[in-house]
Amino acid sequence: MIDWMNRKKRAYPQKEVGAVGHEFKTMRPTDGHFYWVSTDDVLPRYQNDAGAWNPNTQAATLTARIFTDNQINVRTHGVGQVTVWLGPASVNYAQKVTLFVNGARMAPRQITPDLRILLEHFCQTGDRQRLFWAMIPLKV
């Protein structure tokens, strides 16, 4: 089993998470972290419970893409907040980042790597392979 696991590689999409038609979906408030995009606010009408399952409930969705010109496009449905996590090669930190959230352009902003963010995220996840230098919390 260890030999078999040694040949496995973890996926880490650098520039795109969830394409159109393949969005990340969740119906639980605790399941909201997908690679470098997360949410802590799945709206109640998009939540479902195994004990009282409603087949008509729609899932909340998240997709995001980083373009080479420091542009980040985020699309969401059914969430009130989204966080974009940025690693060492995600963007050019010397230039401002332009964000589009559900089609709305936000003012360009300078993103600075922060050791506290890196250490806090590492402490929470224990993941040495997916380290994040900065985060951008956004209201949707």
pLDDT at 5: 79
> What's the pTM value of the predicted model, to 2 decimals?
0.84
Cα gap 125→73, rounded to integer Å:
25
pLDDT at 14: 64
Q: Domain residues of the chain, as ranges? A: 13-139
Rg, Å, the chain Cα set: 16
- Whole-number mean pLDDT of the chain? 89
Within the chain, which residues score under 50 in pLDDT? none
pLDDT at 12: 59
- The tokens for 140 are 């949707």
C-beta separation of 136 from 121 below 8 A: no
Q: Give the model confidence (pLDDT) of 7-22 as tens digits.
A: 777 665 666 677 666 7
Classify burial at 73, counting beta carbons within 10 Å of its beta carbon; exposed 0-12, middle 13-18, buried 19 or more.
Answer: middle
Cα gap 34→23, rounded to integer Å:
10
pLDDT at 11: 62
